[in-house]
Amino acid sequence: MRLRTIVILSVFVAFWLVGGMTSMAKGKEFVVVIDAGHGGRDPGAVGRVAQEKNINLNVALALGNLISANCPDVKVLYTRKSDVFVSLERRARIANNANADLFISIHTNALPKGKIARGAETYTLGMARADDNLEVAKRENSVILVEENYEERYAGFNPNSAESYIIFELMQDKYMEQSVSFAKMIQGEFKTTAKRLDKGVHQAGFLVLRATSMPSVLVELGYISTPDEEKYLNSKAGVAALSKSLYNAFEAYKERQTDVKDASQPVVREDRPKQASAKKNVVRKEAVQVPVFKVQILTSDKKLAVKSPKLKGVEADCYQEGGLYKYTYGETTDYNKIVKTRKEIGAKFKDAFIVAFCNGQKMNVQEAITLFKKNK
């Protein structure tokens, strides 16, 4: 991938993001969401006889059955249990609404015709530093192109634009350590239990992982584009070995997390009476926040002249962030209007996307949209 002096950062938001603690910290029940990638009108990668969506679902259901049969203290949820289409937004929302402790997204890899590869790999959220990782992320994220109003729903994210993924370089996932730990367990099980070629643990910009608010991984079971791999992935033996590998990793991860949780619990002393608080509850009226929406058209490592050809005749505003100069067009408190503005300016800047500010400070776009709807 060529180096560019000017890059366009395409920001995608973590919609329906639920902050705070997971259900494991709230109660005894551990909740795991199993996500069978693709489905319905989206077949995913296609082999000679099999389709990715069916392989993913077979392994997802087998994994869920193993957990349900052996872990009575675990609640298993699925993003889909049949051949139906589910948007990436909806998949993440299912996990977030359930306050899940773990999210496992199951997929099958593929390469262009004529290329051969074998083995399983597991991804966590991050920047796709290798071109191969970026291509995997592009393929899995391209599902949004068959969704209605995807441009508006994903704030202008373009799954086929390399620039869109630069934003993941700036993201810090607070569940990264747990996600990577689980991913390593999965790869270890793939190698020993399923006897799969270990292609390692990687990071890439997967939208479905970015939108979940718990430890999460995306698994690529193997290559449907390689004939012998396709045969294995589509077989009962293959499904059994892969689901057993995932189950073993899940059981080890859950046990470790439970141990960590138990060790972190404070000791409650019964010999000290509780002291009643003398402070009275004070009700404070919060100021109404009014977000301002703009369209970011480009980013530069140097400040551009007003008549710079890179601005294409557009009168743009500029703000600085992370040592970069970022140029925006338009300004409104009406989100619906900024969506129209982005579509209009898209003729000149195809990777333009919406950003939001409140009281002069940049803010999360989804939070800004929520505020806009609330204040209407």
pLDDT tens by residue, the chain, 376 residues = 333 323 333 334 333 333 333 333 445 589 999 999 999 999 999 999 999 999 999 999 999 999 999 999 999 999 999 999 998 888 888 998 999 999 999 999 999 888 999 999 999 886 544 456 557 666 666 666 667 666 666 656 666 665 555 555 444 456 788 888 999 999 999 999 999 999 999 887 777 777 778 899 999 999 999 999 999 999 999 999 999 999 999 999 998 876 555 544 444 434 434 444 444 444 444 455 789 999 998 888 788 988 889 999 999 999 988 678 899 999 999 988 998 998 898 888 887 888 899 888 888 887 888 888 888 7
Using alpha carbons, select from 39, 182, 18, 179 the residue that is nearest to residue 100. 18
The DSSP output letter for 361 is E
Virtual torsion, Cα 258, 261, 267, 268, nearest 10 deg? -90
Using alpha carbons, select from 289, 35, 41, 15 the residue that is nearest to residue 152. 15
CB-based contact 216:103 (threshold 8 Å): yes
Q: What share of the chain is helix, strand, coil (3-state, %, to 5)?
A: 40, 20, 40
Tokens at 117, concatenated: 């590869």
Catalogue all structural domains in the chain, each as residue range(s) with its CATH number: 6-264 (3.40.630.40), 292-375 (3.30.70.1070)
- pTM exceeding 0.75: no
